[in-house]
Amino acid sequence: MKKTALIAWPLLAVFVAAAQAATPPPDARAQIEQVVAKFQAALVAKDKAALENLFMPEGGAWFEVLGDDAYRQLSAKHPQMPRFHADNYKHFIDFVVGSKGRMEEQFSNVRIATDGAIASVYFDFVFLADGKVNNRGHEAWQLVNTGKGWKISAMAYSSEPTQLR
């Protein structure tokens, strides 16, 4: 029994240390939720500086991937059309800021996973242009805790546009 206890205690200590290391700081989730809210508010306000400040200035990725229905319809019309489009956040921001009408992105089913250093945010979205649904799908962000706040480092989203090209 004593031998078992001698072996079990160090293992228990390792397990407890690993569990504590895997638990994110209590404010990490709230900080990430603020990034999501700031993104939505800056989009509606067409605030270029605020939007740019939410992203890592270098590196990262941005991908639009057509959903099954949209891809099926578009590839029937344009067989050479790829299913995905690589881009960057700067083009998106320029599109939003340069648009004449109101832009808004509504999120639902927001799920956040983090260890306090990195995070992923996954949600359903509806993109509205002048109050009308323009696009919908699912969106995934990767975030990095820079030590001075959370920044979006990568974004990918499925796209089911209401009007196909």
Q: Report pLDDT for 20.
A: 46
Query: Could you state, in chain order, the average pLDDT of each consecutive group of 10 residues for the chain (165 residues)?
Result: 49 44 75 97 97 92 93 92 93 94 96 96 96 95 96 96 79
Gap between the Cα atoms of 137 and 18, Å rounded: 36
Exposure b/e, 69-98, CB count within 10 A at least 16 = b: ebbeebeeeeeeeeeeeeeebeebbeebbe
Domain assignment present for residue 59? The answer is yes
pLDDT of residue 164: 72
pLDDT at 1: 52
pLDDT for position 58: 86
In a domain, 149, yes or no: yes
Inside any domain, residue 84: yes
Domain assignment present for residue 42? The answer is yes
- The domain in which residue 44 lies consists of 28-159
**DSSP H helix total and E strand total for the chain:** 5, 6
- Does residue 7 sit within a domain? no
For residue 150, the domain's CATH number is 3.10.450.50
Residue 11: the pLDDT is 41
For residue 164, is it within any domain?
no
Please state the domain count of the chain. Answer: 1
Per the domain annotation, does 111 fall within a domain? yes
- Selection from 12, 29, 13 nearest residue 115 by Cα: 29
Residue 17 lies in a domain: no
